[in-house]
Chains A and B, each alone.
Chain A
Amino acid sequence: MHAIEVSHLTKKFGALTALNDISFSVDVGETFGFLGPNGAGKTTTIRILTGISYPTSGTASIFGHDIGRETIAARQSMGIVSETSNIYDDLTAWQNMIFSAELYHVRRDLREKKSAELLTTFGLYERRSDKAHGFSKGMKRRLTIAMGLVNSPRLLFLDEPTSGLDVQSNLIIRDVITGLIDEGVTVFLTTHNIEEANMMCDRVAIVNRGTIAAIDAPERLKKTIQSAQSIMVSFDHASAHQLDDVRHLSMVNDAVKEGDKFRLYTEDPATVIESVMEYARARDIRVISISTLGPSLEDVFIKLTGLQRSGGMIHAID
Protein backbone atom coordinates (compact mmCIF):
# COMPACT_ATOMS: atom_id res chain seq x y z
CA MET A 1 0.00 0.00 0.00
CA HIS A 2 1.23 3.48 -0.90
CA ALA A 3 0.92 6.52 1.34
CA ILE A 4 -0.41 8.46 -1.65
CA GLU A 5 -1.70 6.99 -4.89
CA VAL A 6 -2.82 9.35 -7.63
CA SER A 7 -4.31 7.93 -10.80
CA HIS A 8 -5.18 9.91 -13.94
CA LEU A 9 -6.11 13.01 -11.99
CA THR A 10 -7.61 15.81 -14.06
CA LYS A 11 -9.00 19.08 -12.78
CA LYS A 12 -10.67 21.64 -15.00
CA PHE A 13 -11.90 25.10 -14.08
CA GLY A 14 -14.15 25.93 -17.01
CA ALA A 15 -11.92 26.01 -20.08
CA LEU A 16 -8.73 25.96 -18.00
CA THR A 17 -7.14 22.58 -17.35
CA ALA A 18 -5.26 22.95 -14.06
CA LEU A 19 -4.24 19.27 -13.89
CA ASN A 20 -4.03 17.10 -16.94
CA ASP A 21 -4.16 13.36 -16.30
CA ILE A 22 -1.40 13.16 -13.69
CA SER A 23 -0.46 9.89 -11.99
CA PHE A 24 2.12 9.20 -9.30
CA SER A 25 2.52 7.40 -6.02
CA VAL A 26 4.39 8.12 -2.81
CA ASP A 27 5.69 5.25 -0.71
CA VAL A 28 5.19 5.00 3.03
CA GLY A 29 8.08 6.78 4.77
CA GLU A 30 9.19 8.56 1.61
CA THR A 31 9.94 12.29 1.44
CA PHE A 32 8.46 13.44 -1.82
CA GLY A 33 9.05 16.87 -3.32
CA PHE A 34 6.48 18.47 -5.56
CA LEU A 35 8.11 21.29 -7.48
CA GLY A 36 6.88 23.61 -10.17
CA PRO A 37 6.54 27.26 -11.12
CA ASN A 38 3.56 29.30 -9.94
CA GLY A 39 0.36 28.13 -11.62
CA ALA A 40 1.79 24.70 -12.44
CA GLY A 41 -0.93 22.87 -10.49
CA LYS A 42 0.81 22.26 -7.14
CA THR A 43 -1.84 23.88 -4.96
CA THR A 44 -4.66 22.25 -6.93
CA THR A 45 -3.04 18.86 -6.37
CA ILE A 46 -2.69 19.46 -2.63
CA ARG A 47 -6.28 20.69 -2.36
CA ILE A 48 -7.49 17.49 -4.02
CA LEU A 49 -5.22 15.23 -1.95
CA THR A 50 -6.48 16.84 1.25
CA GLY A 51 -10.12 16.58 0.19
CA ILE A 52 -10.76 20.33 0.05
CA SER A 53 -11.37 20.24 -3.69
CA TYR A 54 -12.65 17.52 -6.00
CA PRO A 55 -11.11 16.21 -9.22
CA THR A 56 -12.93 16.46 -12.53
CA SER A 57 -11.82 12.89 -13.19
CA GLY A 58 -9.33 10.39 -11.79
CA THR A 59 -8.78 9.17 -8.25
CA ALA A 60 -6.51 9.80 -5.31
CA SER A 61 -6.11 7.70 -2.20
CA ILE A 62 -4.31 8.17 1.10
CA PHE A 63 -3.12 4.96 2.79
CA GLY A 64 -5.70 3.09 0.71
CA HIS A 65 -8.61 5.41 1.56
CA ASP A 66 -10.16 7.06 -1.47
CA ILE A 67 -10.11 10.79 -0.70
CA GLY A 68 -13.48 11.33 -2.41
CA ARG A 69 -15.40 8.48 -0.81
CA GLU A 70 -13.58 7.97 2.50
CA THR A 71 -12.57 11.56 3.06
CA ILE A 72 -12.65 11.56 6.84
CA ALA A 73 -10.67 8.31 7.22
CA ALA A 74 -8.09 9.61 4.72
CA ARG A 75 -7.75 12.96 6.51
CA GLN A 76 -7.41 11.35 9.91
CA SER A 77 -3.89 10.20 9.09
CA MET A 78 -2.64 13.49 7.65
CA GLY A 79 -1.20 16.69 8.97
CA ILE A 80 -1.51 19.73 6.78
CA VAL A 81 0.75 22.76 6.89
CA SER A 82 -0.42 25.25 4.32
CA GLU A 83 1.68 27.91 2.64
CA THR A 84 0.04 30.67 4.67
CA SER A 85 0.47 30.55 8.44
CA ASN A 86 -3.23 29.99 8.99
CA ILE A 87 -3.46 30.30 12.73
CA TYR A 88 -6.09 32.13 14.76
CA ASP A 89 -4.56 35.46 15.73
CA ASP A 90 -7.16 36.09 18.44
CA LEU A 91 -6.44 32.79 20.17
CA THR A 92 -3.39 32.08 22.29
CA ALA A 93 -0.77 29.61 21.07
CA TRP A 94 -2.19 27.09 23.54
CA GLN A 95 -5.79 27.62 22.39
CA ASN A 96 -4.68 27.20 18.78
CA MET A 97 -3.05 23.88 19.62
CA ILE A 98 -6.00 22.57 21.62
CA PHE A 99 -8.44 23.65 18.89
CA SER A 100 -6.42 21.78 16.29
CA ALA A 101 -6.28 18.70 18.55
CA GLU A 102 -10.06 18.82 18.98
CA LEU A 103 -10.63 19.08 15.23
CA TYR A 104 -8.45 15.99 14.72
CA HIS A 105 -10.13 14.02 17.52
CA VAL A 106 -6.96 13.71 19.58
CA ARG A 107 -7.91 11.94 22.80
CA ARG A 108 -8.69 14.30 25.64
CA ASP A 109 -5.88 12.95 27.86
CA LEU A 110 -3.33 13.38 25.05
CA ARG A 111 -4.30 16.88 23.86
CA GLU A 112 -2.51 18.84 26.54
CA LYS A 113 0.51 16.50 26.65
CA LYS A 114 1.01 16.62 22.87
CA SER A 115 0.41 20.38 22.71
CA ALA A 116 2.96 21.03 25.47
CA GLU A 117 5.51 18.75 23.78
CA LEU A 118 5.14 20.43 20.39
CA LEU A 119 5.18 23.98 21.75
CA THR A 120 8.36 23.11 23.62
CA THR A 121 9.94 21.56 20.51
CA PHE A 122 9.15 24.68 18.48
CA GLY A 123 10.37 27.06 21.18
CA LEU A 124 6.95 28.49 21.90
CA TYR A 125 6.03 26.98 25.26
CA GLU A 126 7.02 30.08 27.21
CA ARG A 127 4.71 32.13 24.96
CA ARG A 128 1.80 29.66 25.11
CA SER A 129 -0.53 32.10 26.88
CA ASP A 130 0.11 34.93 24.41
CA LYS A 131 -2.28 35.67 21.60
CA ALA A 132 -0.80 34.75 18.24
CA HIS A 133 -1.31 38.21 16.72
CA GLY A 134 1.77 39.42 18.63
CA PHE A 135 3.97 36.66 17.18
CA SER A 136 6.70 37.22 14.58
CA LYS A 137 6.42 35.62 11.14
CA GLY A 138 8.78 32.83 12.18
CA MET A 139 6.85 32.13 15.40
CA LYS A 140 3.56 31.98 13.49
CA ARG A 141 5.12 29.55 11.03
CA ARG A 142 6.38 27.37 13.86
CA LEU A 143 2.95 27.38 15.48
CA THR A 144 1.34 26.45 12.15
CA ILE A 145 3.62 23.44 11.82
CA ALA A 146 3.08 22.47 15.46
CA MET A 147 -0.69 22.53 14.83
CA GLY A 148 -0.18 20.29 11.80
CA LEU A 149 1.60 17.72 13.94
CA VAL A 150 -0.78 17.60 16.89
CA ASN A 151 -2.52 14.43 15.65
CA SER A 152 0.83 12.62 15.11
CA PRO A 153 0.18 12.26 11.37
CA ARG A 154 1.56 9.41 9.27
CA LEU A 155 1.55 11.73 6.26
CA LEU A 156 2.52 15.37 6.43
CA PHE A 157 1.70 17.88 3.69
CA LEU A 158 4.20 20.72 3.90
CA ASP A 159 3.60 23.68 1.64
CA GLU A 160 6.57 26.06 1.56
CA PRO A 161 7.57 25.31 5.18
CA THR A 162 10.55 27.63 5.43
CA SER A 163 9.81 30.34 2.88
CA GLY A 164 11.03 33.78 3.98
CA LEU A 165 11.85 32.82 7.57
CA ASP A 166 14.55 33.92 9.99
CA VAL A 167 17.52 31.62 10.59
CA GLN A 168 16.32 30.41 14.01
CA SER A 169 12.88 29.38 12.72
CA ASN A 170 14.46 27.78 9.67
CA LEU A 171 16.78 25.66 11.77
CA ILE A 172 14.06 24.55 14.19
CA ILE A 173 11.69 23.64 11.37
CA ARG A 174 14.31 21.74 9.38
CA ASP A 175 15.39 19.86 12.52
CA VAL A 176 11.83 18.85 13.29
CA ILE A 177 11.15 17.75 9.70
CA THR A 178 14.36 15.73 9.63
CA GLY A 179 13.29 14.09 12.90
CA LEU A 180 9.90 13.23 11.44
CA ILE A 181 11.49 11.71 8.37
CA ASP A 182 13.72 9.60 10.63
CA GLU A 183 10.61 8.42 12.48
CA GLY A 184 9.14 7.19 9.20
CA VAL A 185 6.57 9.91 8.61
CA THR A 186 5.75 10.32 4.92
CA VAL A 187 6.35 13.91 3.83
CA PHE A 188 4.81 15.57 0.78
CA LEU A 189 6.84 18.74 0.35
CA THR A 190 6.02 21.66 -1.90
CA THR A 191 8.70 24.29 -2.08
CA HIS A 192 10.22 26.96 -4.25
CA ASN A 193 13.51 26.31 -2.50
CA ILE A 194 14.92 23.72 -4.87
CA GLU A 195 18.03 23.19 -2.77
CA GLU A 196 15.77 22.35 0.17
CA ALA A 197 14.03 19.71 -1.97
CA ASN A 198 17.40 18.44 -3.18
CA MET A 199 18.64 18.01 0.39
CA MET A 200 15.48 16.50 1.88
CA CYS A 201 13.62 14.52 -0.76
CA ASP A 202 13.95 10.89 -1.76
CA ARG A 203 12.18 11.71 -5.00
CA VAL A 204 10.81 14.84 -6.62
CA ALA A 205 8.14 15.44 -9.21
CA ILE A 206 8.50 18.50 -11.40
CA VAL A 207 5.12 19.75 -12.53
CA ASN A 208 4.54 22.24 -15.27
CA ARG A 209 1.28 23.45 -16.79
CA GLY A 210 -0.76 20.72 -15.13
CA THR A 211 1.41 17.79 -16.17
CA ILE A 212 4.32 15.97 -14.54
CA ALA A 213 7.44 16.82 -16.54
CA ALA A 214 9.68 14.43 -14.60
CA ILE A 215 9.61 12.30 -11.50
CA ASP A 216 12.67 10.64 -10.03
CA ALA A 217 15.38 10.85 -7.35
CA PRO A 218 17.20 14.23 -7.46
CA GLU A 219 20.54 12.67 -8.37
CA ARG A 220 19.04 10.65 -11.22
CA LEU A 221 17.29 13.74 -12.54
CA LYS A 222 20.58 15.65 -12.54
CA LYS A 223 22.16 12.93 -14.66
CA THR A 224 19.61 13.54 -17.38
CA ILE A 225 21.13 16.95 -18.15
CA GLN A 226 24.86 16.51 -18.00
CA SER A 227 25.09 19.26 -20.63
CA ALA A 228 24.30 21.80 -17.90
CA GLN A 229 27.75 21.60 -16.27
CA SER A 230 29.30 24.75 -14.91
CA ILE A 231 32.48 26.36 -13.63
CA MET A 232 32.40 28.41 -10.45
CA VAL A 233 35.16 31.01 -10.37
CA SER A 234 36.05 33.93 -8.14
CA PHE A 235 38.60 36.69 -8.84
CA ASP A 236 40.43 38.84 -6.32
CA HIS A 237 38.87 42.00 -7.77
CA ALA A 238 35.28 41.15 -8.64
CA SER A 239 33.35 43.81 -10.50
CA ALA A 240 30.02 43.93 -12.31
CA HIS A 241 31.52 44.43 -15.79
CA GLN A 242 33.37 41.13 -15.46
CA LEU A 243 30.07 39.29 -15.85
CA ASP A 244 29.77 40.56 -19.40
CA ASP A 245 33.41 39.65 -20.08
CA VAL A 246 33.18 36.06 -18.83
CA ARG A 247 29.87 35.53 -20.59
CA HIS A 248 31.69 36.05 -23.88
CA LEU A 249 34.53 33.64 -23.14
CA SER A 250 34.95 30.69 -25.48
CA MET A 251 32.45 27.80 -24.95
CA VAL A 252 30.50 29.65 -22.23
CA ASN A 253 26.76 29.25 -22.83
CA ASP A 254 25.64 31.51 -20.03
CA ALA A 255 27.05 33.21 -16.95
CA VAL A 256 25.46 34.21 -13.64
CA LYS A 257 26.95 36.28 -10.81
CA GLU A 258 26.42 34.47 -7.48
CA GLY A 259 27.71 36.69 -4.68
CA ASP A 260 31.45 37.22 -5.22
CA LYS A 261 31.60 34.34 -7.69
CA PHE A 262 30.66 33.78 -11.31
CA ARG A 263 28.98 30.62 -12.51
CA LEU A 264 29.73 29.84 -16.13
CA TYR A 265 27.51 27.26 -17.84
CA THR A 266 29.20 25.12 -20.46
CA GLU A 267 29.29 21.75 -22.15
CA ASP A 268 33.12 21.86 -22.17
CA PRO A 269 34.49 22.67 -18.71
CA ALA A 270 38.14 22.07 -19.65
CA THR A 271 38.13 24.70 -22.40
CA VAL A 272 36.35 27.20 -20.20
CA ILE A 273 38.92 26.75 -17.38
CA GLU A 274 41.68 27.55 -19.88
CA SER A 275 39.76 30.59 -21.12
CA VAL A 276 39.22 31.85 -17.59
CA MET A 277 42.91 31.55 -16.69
CA GLU A 278 43.88 33.32 -19.90
CA TYR A 279 41.36 36.07 -19.20
CA ALA A 280 42.79 36.55 -15.68
CA ARG A 281 46.39 36.65 -16.90
CA ALA A 282 45.56 39.18 -19.62
CA ARG A 283 43.98 41.56 -17.10
CA ASP A 284 46.48 40.89 -14.32
CA ILE A 285 43.86 39.65 -11.88
CA ARG A 286 44.15 36.61 -9.66
CA VAL A 287 41.85 33.62 -9.65
CA ILE A 288 41.06 32.95 -5.98
CA SER A 289 39.12 29.75 -6.57
CA ILE A 290 37.82 27.73 -9.47
CA SER A 291 35.79 24.51 -9.46
CA THR A 292 33.63 22.47 -11.77
CA LEU A 293 30.06 21.77 -10.80
CA GLY A 294 27.61 19.18 -12.10
CA PRO A 295 24.05 20.19 -12.93
CA SER A 296 21.95 21.17 -9.92
CA LEU A 297 18.34 20.24 -9.31
CA GLU A 298 17.58 23.86 -10.14
CA ASP A 299 19.12 23.34 -13.57
CA VAL A 300 16.87 20.34 -14.09
CA PHE A 301 13.89 22.36 -12.91
CA ILE A 302 14.70 25.22 -15.27
CA LYS A 303 15.18 22.92 -18.22
CA LEU A 304 11.99 20.98 -17.63
CA THR A 305 9.75 23.93 -16.87
CA GLY A 306 10.92 26.05 -19.78
CA LEU A 307 12.13 28.87 -17.54
CA GLN A 308 15.34 30.75 -18.34
CA ARG A 309 18.03 32.51 -16.36
CA SER A 310 18.69 36.16 -16.91
CA GLY A 311 21.03 38.22 -14.77
CA GLY A 312 20.87 35.80 -11.88
CA MET A 313 17.08 35.74 -11.95
CA ILE A 314 14.80 33.06 -13.37
CA HIS A 315 12.10 34.12 -15.81
CA ALA A 316 9.29 32.31 -17.51
CA ILE A 317 9.45 32.00 -21.27
CA ASP A 318 6.26 31.32 -23.20
Chain B
Amino acid sequence: MPSIEGNEWAGAWVGRLSHELSAAWAISRKDMITYYIKPNIIVMGILFPFFMFLAFAIGKNAPPGTLIPGLIAITLLFSASSIEPVSIPIERRVKTFDRLLSAPISLHSLVFGESLSGFLYSLGIACFPLIAGIILFAMPIENAPVLVIAMALTAFCFATLGTLFAAYPTENVGEVMSMLNTVRLPLIFISGVFIPISEIPQIGQVIALFSPLTYGNDMISYAYTGTSLFSPVWDIIALLIFILIFQFVANRLYKKFNE
Protein backbone atom coordinates (compact mmCIF):
# COMPACT_ATOMS: atom_id res chain seq x y z
CA MET B 1 0.00 0.00 0.00
CA PRO B 2 1.50 3.41 -0.94
CA SER B 3 2.57 5.55 2.03
CA ILE B 4 1.06 8.96 2.81
CA GLU B 5 4.43 10.60 1.97
CA GLY B 6 4.43 8.76 -1.34
CA ASN B 7 0.94 10.01 -2.14
CA GLU B 8 1.88 13.57 -1.21
CA TRP B 9 5.01 13.35 -3.34
CA ALA B 10 3.02 12.02 -6.29
CA GLY B 11 0.37 14.69 -5.77
CA ALA B 12 3.00 17.44 -5.73
CA TRP B 13 4.49 16.12 -8.95
CA VAL B 14 1.11 15.91 -10.66
CA GLY B 15 0.43 19.50 -9.56
CA ARG B 16 3.84 20.64 -10.79
CA LEU B 17 3.38 18.88 -14.13
CA SER B 18 -0.09 20.37 -14.51
CA HIS B 19 1.33 23.88 -13.89
CA GLU B 20 4.15 23.33 -16.37
CA LEU B 21 1.83 22.03 -19.09
CA SER B 22 -0.65 24.83 -18.47
CA ALA B 23 2.11 27.46 -18.80
CA ALA B 24 3.48 25.74 -21.94
CA TRP B 25 0.00 25.82 -23.46
CA ALA B 26 -0.36 29.52 -22.55
CA ILE B 27 2.95 30.29 -24.32
CA SER B 28 1.84 28.32 -27.33
CA ARG B 29 -1.56 30.06 -27.49
CA LYS B 30 0.11 33.46 -27.21
CA ASP B 31 2.35 32.56 -30.18
CA MET B 32 -0.67 31.43 -32.21
CA ILE B 33 -2.47 34.75 -31.71
CA THR B 34 0.63 36.84 -32.19
CA TYR B 35 2.73 35.21 -34.90
CA TYR B 36 0.72 32.85 -37.12
CA ILE B 37 -0.06 35.55 -39.66
CA LYS B 38 3.27 37.41 -39.61
CA PRO B 39 4.55 37.85 -43.19
CA ASN B 40 7.89 36.07 -42.48
CA ILE B 41 6.06 33.01 -41.27
CA ILE B 42 3.63 32.91 -44.18
CA VAL B 43 6.52 33.14 -46.66
CA MET B 44 8.78 30.58 -44.97
CA GLY B 45 6.07 28.26 -43.68
CA ILE B 46 3.61 28.15 -46.58
CA LEU B 47 4.90 29.69 -49.80
CA PHE B 48 8.47 28.40 -49.61
CA PRO B 49 7.62 24.66 -49.42
CA PHE B 50 4.91 25.08 -52.06
CA PHE B 51 7.26 26.66 -54.60
CA MET B 52 10.00 24.21 -53.68
CA PHE B 53 7.54 21.42 -54.49
CA LEU B 54 6.63 23.02 -57.82
CA ALA B 55 10.31 23.36 -58.74
CA PHE B 56 10.78 19.63 -58.28
CA ALA B 57 7.44 18.46 -59.60
CA ILE B 58 7.46 20.37 -62.89
CA GLY B 59 9.14 18.26 -65.53
CA LYS B 60 8.82 15.01 -63.62
CA ASN B 61 6.97 12.24 -65.40
CA ALA B 62 5.50 10.83 -62.22
CA PRO B 63 1.78 11.45 -61.60
CA PRO B 64 1.42 14.56 -59.38
CA GLY B 65 -0.37 12.57 -56.69
CA THR B 66 2.70 10.43 -56.03
CA LEU B 67 4.56 13.59 -54.98
CA ILE B 68 2.04 14.36 -52.22
CA PRO B 69 3.91 12.46 -49.44
CA GLY B 70 7.06 14.46 -50.22
CA LEU B 71 5.11 17.71 -50.26
CA ILE B 72 3.59 16.90 -46.86
CA ALA B 73 7.06 16.12 -45.49
CA ILE B 74 8.68 19.38 -46.63
CA THR B 75 5.61 21.40 -45.60
CA LEU B 76 6.00 19.96 -42.12
CA LEU B 77 9.73 20.73 -42.17
CA PHE B 78 9.40 24.37 -43.21
CA SER B 79 6.22 25.35 -41.41
CA ALA B 80 7.05 23.69 -38.08
CA SER B 81 10.52 25.18 -37.92
CA SER B 82 9.49 28.71 -38.98
CA ILE B 83 7.52 30.01 -35.98
CA GLU B 84 10.13 30.22 -33.23
CA PRO B 85 13.01 31.56 -35.36
CA VAL B 86 10.69 34.51 -36.06
CA SER B 87 8.96 34.90 -32.69
CA ILE B 88 11.88 34.50 -30.30
CA PRO B 89 14.25 37.11 -31.84
CA ILE B 90 11.31 39.55 -32.00
CA GLU B 91 10.51 38.84 -28.34
CA ARG B 92 14.16 39.37 -27.43
CA ARG B 93 14.04 42.76 -29.16
CA VAL B 94 10.90 43.93 -27.34
CA LYS B 95 12.04 42.25 -24.08
CA THR B 96 8.97 40.05 -23.74
CA PHE B 97 11.25 37.01 -23.85
CA ASP B 98 12.63 38.06 -20.44
CA ARG B 99 9.07 37.74 -19.17
CA LEU B 100 9.10 34.06 -20.19
CA LEU B 101 12.62 33.46 -18.88
CA SER B 102 11.73 34.88 -15.47
CA ALA B 103 8.39 33.08 -15.10
CA PRO B 104 8.05 30.28 -12.54
CA ILE B 105 8.33 27.54 -15.14
CA SER B 106 11.17 25.26 -16.15
CA LEU B 107 13.21 25.89 -19.29
CA HIS B 108 11.93 22.55 -20.61
CA SER B 109 8.36 23.88 -20.43
CA LEU B 110 9.39 27.08 -22.14
CA VAL B 111 11.04 25.13 -24.98
CA PHE B 112 8.08 22.75 -25.14
CA GLY B 113 5.53 25.58 -25.19
CA GLU B 114 7.39 27.42 -27.92
CA SER B 115 7.68 24.21 -29.98
CA LEU B 116 4.01 23.42 -29.47
CA SER B 117 2.92 26.46 -31.47
CA GLY B 118 5.14 25.46 -34.42
CA PHE B 119 3.82 21.92 -34.14
CA LEU B 120 0.14 22.92 -34.30
CA TYR B 121 0.80 25.46 -37.04
CA SER B 122 2.52 22.93 -39.28
CA LEU B 123 -0.12 20.28 -38.72
CA GLY B 124 -2.74 22.78 -39.87
CA ILE B 125 -0.71 23.81 -42.91
CA ALA B 126 0.12 20.19 -43.85
CA CYS B 127 -3.59 19.43 -44.03
CA PHE B 128 -3.75 21.43 -47.27
CA PRO B 129 -1.53 19.08 -49.35
CA LEU B 130 -3.16 16.14 -47.57
CA ILE B 131 -6.65 17.25 -48.58
CA ALA B 132 -5.44 18.28 -52.04
CA GLY B 133 -4.05 14.76 -52.48
CA ILE B 134 -7.40 13.24 -51.59
CA ILE B 135 -9.66 15.60 -53.54
CA LEU B 136 -7.59 16.61 -56.56
CA PHE B 137 -5.44 13.52 -57.17
CA ALA B 138 -7.53 10.79 -55.50
CA MET B 139 -4.45 9.63 -53.59
CA PRO B 140 -5.49 6.74 -51.36
CA ILE B 141 -4.11 6.59 -47.82
CA GLU B 142 -3.27 2.97 -47.03
CA ASN B 143 -2.63 3.43 -43.33
CA ALA B 144 -4.26 6.51 -41.79
CA PRO B 145 -3.08 5.91 -38.16
CA VAL B 146 0.54 5.69 -39.35
CA LEU B 147 0.06 8.91 -41.33
CA VAL B 148 -1.27 10.72 -38.26
CA ILE B 149 1.61 9.49 -36.09
CA ALA B 150 4.14 10.33 -38.82
CA MET B 151 2.83 13.85 -39.29
CA ALA B 152 2.64 14.51 -35.56
CA LEU B 153 6.16 13.26 -34.80
CA THR B 154 7.71 14.96 -37.85
CA ALA B 155 5.97 18.24 -37.03
CA PHE B 156 7.06 18.17 -33.40
CA CYS B 157 10.61 17.19 -34.31
CA PHE B 158 11.03 20.17 -36.66
CA ALA B 159 9.22 22.56 -34.33
CA THR B 160 11.79 21.66 -31.66
CA LEU B 161 14.56 22.13 -34.22
CA GLY B 162 13.25 25.66 -34.88
CA THR B 163 13.16 26.40 -31.14
CA LEU B 164 16.72 25.09 -30.86
CA PHE B 165 18.03 27.43 -33.58
CA ALA B 166 16.11 30.34 -32.06
CA ALA B 167 18.24 29.91 -28.91
CA TYR B 168 21.02 31.77 -30.73
CA PRO B 169 21.09 35.07 -28.81
CA THR B 170 20.16 37.56 -31.49
CA GLU B 171 17.34 40.04 -31.98
CA ASN B 172 17.61 39.65 -35.74
CA VAL B 173 15.15 37.21 -37.36
CA GLY B 174 17.29 37.04 -40.52
CA GLU B 175 20.32 35.71 -38.64
CA VAL B 176 18.41 32.76 -37.20
CA MET B 177 16.65 32.04 -40.51
CA SER B 178 19.97 32.04 -42.39
CA MET B 179 21.51 29.55 -39.98
CA LEU B 180 18.39 27.40 -40.04
CA ASN B 181 18.26 27.35 -43.86
CA THR B 182 21.83 26.09 -44.08
CA VAL B 183 20.46 22.98 -42.37
CA ARG B 184 16.89 22.82 -43.75
CA LEU B 185 17.68 23.18 -47.44
CA PRO B 186 20.27 20.37 -47.67
CA LEU B 187 17.87 18.09 -45.77
CA ILE B 188 15.36 18.00 -48.62
CA PHE B 189 18.06 16.78 -51.03
CA ILE B 190 19.42 13.96 -48.90
CA SER B 191 16.29 12.68 -47.16
CA GLY B 192 14.54 10.94 -50.03
CA VAL B 193 11.82 13.55 -50.41
CA PHE B 194 12.09 13.93 -54.16
CA ILE B 195 15.05 11.69 -55.00
CA PRO B 196 14.84 8.17 -53.51
CA ILE B 197 17.66 7.54 -51.03
CA SER B 198 18.71 4.45 -53.00
CA GLU B 199 19.46 6.71 -55.99
CA ILE B 200 21.70 9.21 -54.20
CA PRO B 201 25.49 8.63 -53.83
CA GLN B 202 26.81 6.37 -51.06
CA ILE B 203 28.01 9.29 -48.93
CA GLY B 204 24.56 10.89 -49.24
CA GLN B 205 22.94 7.65 -48.08
CA VAL B 206 25.09 7.68 -44.95
CA ILE B 207 24.31 11.34 -44.25
CA ALA B 208 20.59 10.60 -44.79
CA LEU B 209 20.66 8.42 -41.68
CA PHE B 210 21.35 11.55 -39.60
CA SER B 211 18.44 13.50 -41.07
CA PRO B 212 15.14 13.44 -39.17
CA LEU B 213 13.39 14.23 -42.45
CA THR B 214 14.51 10.82 -43.77
CA TYR B 215 12.43 9.05 -41.13
CA GLY B 216 9.46 11.42 -41.33
CA ASN B 217 9.31 11.15 -45.08
CA ASP B 218 9.81 7.36 -44.95
CA MET B 219 6.90 6.96 -42.56
CA ILE B 220 4.60 9.26 -44.55
CA SER B 221 5.46 7.33 -47.73
CA TYR B 222 4.66 4.09 -45.91
CA ALA B 223 1.27 5.46 -44.90
CA TYR B 224 0.49 6.16 -48.58
CA THR B 225 2.18 3.24 -50.38
CA GLY B 226 2.67 0.53 -47.79
CA THR B 227 6.38 0.36 -48.62
CA SER B 228 9.27 2.04 -46.83
CA LEU B 229 13.03 1.99 -46.47
CA PHE B 230 12.86 1.43 -42.73
CA SER B 231 10.01 0.01 -40.70
CA PRO B 232 7.52 2.52 -39.21
CA VAL B 233 8.59 1.37 -35.74
CA TRP B 234 12.19 2.29 -36.46
CA ASP B 235 11.05 5.61 -37.96
CA ILE B 236 9.10 6.38 -34.76
CA ILE B 237 12.08 5.50 -32.55
CA ALA B 238 14.42 7.61 -34.68
CA LEU B 239 12.08 10.62 -34.61
CA LEU B 240 11.62 10.32 -30.85
CA ILE B 241 15.39 10.24 -30.39
CA PHE B 242 15.77 13.36 -32.53
CA ILE B 243 13.04 15.14 -30.52
CA LEU B 244 14.73 14.29 -27.22
CA ILE B 245 18.13 15.42 -28.52
CA PHE B 246 16.75 18.71 -29.89
CA GLN B 247 14.80 19.37 -26.68
CA PHE B 248 17.84 18.65 -24.51
CA VAL B 249 20.24 20.71 -26.63
CA ALA B 250 17.75 23.60 -26.89
CA ASN B 251 17.35 23.58 -23.11
CA ARG B 252 21.13 23.70 -22.63
CA LEU B 253 21.57 26.47 -25.19
CA TYR B 254 18.90 28.72 -23.66
CA LYS B 255 20.56 28.24 -20.29
CA LYS B 256 24.05 28.81 -21.69
CA PHE B 257 23.17 31.94 -23.68
CA ASN B 258 21.48 33.54 -20.67
CA GLU B 259 24.57 33.28 -18.54
Contacts and interface: CB of A to CB of B under 8 A. Distances in A.
Q: Are A and B associated in one complex?
A: yes
Interface of A: 50-54, 71-73, 75-76, 80, 82, 84, 86-91, 95, 99-100, 102-105, 147
A86 B113 CA distance: 19
A80 B33 CA distance: 24
A76 B104 contact: yes
A229 to B, nearest CB: 42
Given A86-B95, A89-B94, A105-B23, 8 more contacts: A51-B102, A52-B102, A84-B95, A99-B26, A103-B105, A105-B19, A105-B22, A147-B99
A140 to B, nearest CB: 11
Contacts of A71: 104
A76 B106 CA distance: 12
Residue in A82, A86, A87 whose Cβ sees the most chain B Cβ within 10 Å: A86
Interface string B245-259: 000000000000011
A128 to B, nearest CB: 15
B96 A105 contact: no
Nearest to A95: B33
Nearest to B113: A103
A86 B102 contact: no
B23 A84 contact: no
Contacts of A87: 96
A82 B95 contact: yes
Contacts of A52: 98, 101-102, 258
B23 A75 contact: no
B259 A53 contact: yes
B98 A90 contact: no
A103 B100 contact: yes
A36 to B, nearest CB: 20
Contacts of A90: 33-34
Contact of A103 (B23, B98, B106): B23
Contacts of B33: 90-91, 95
Interface string B90-134: 000011101111111110000000000000000000000000000
A48 to B, nearest CB: 10
A91 B104 contact: no
Contacts of A76: 104
Residue in B27, B94, B95, B99 whose Cβ sees the most chain A Cβ within 10 Å: B99
Given A75-B103, A75-B104, A88 B259 contact: no
Contact of B23 (A50, A80, A82, A102): A102
Interface of B: 19, 22-23, 25-27, 29-30, 33-34, 94-96, 98-106, 258-259
Given A99-B26, A103-B23, A88 B103 contact: no
Contacts of A147: 99
B128 to A, nearest CB: 25
B94 A84 contact: yes
Nearest to B256: A54
19 contacts: A54-B259, A72-B105, A72-B106, A75-B103, A75-B104, A82-B98, A84-B94, A86-B94, A86-B99, A88-B34, A95-B30, A102-B22, A102-B25, A103-B99, A103-B103, A103-B104, A103-B105, A105-B23, A105-B104
Contacts of B26: 99, 102-103
The list of the 6 closest CB pairs from A to B, nearest first, reads A102-B26, A75-B104, A86-B95, A103-B103, A84-B95, A90-B34
Contacts of A104: 103-104
A28 B23 CA distance: 28
A158 to B, nearest CB: 14
A308 to B, nearest CB: 32
A87 B91 CA distance: 10
A109 B106 CA distance: 24
A54 to B, nearest CB: 5
A99 B30 CA distance: 7
A50 B30 contact: no
Contacts of B98: 52, 82, 86
Contacts of B23: 102-103, 105
A82 B105 CA distance: 18
A88 B19 contact: no
Nearest to A98: B26
A105 B26 CA distance: 10
A91 B34 CA distance: 7
A50 B30 CA distance: 22
Contacts of B104: 71-73, 75-76, 103-105
A87 B22 CA distance: 20
Given A75-B102, A91-B30, A53 B95 contact: no
A103 B98 CA distance: 13
Given A53-B259, A99-B30, A102-B22, A86 B106 contact: no
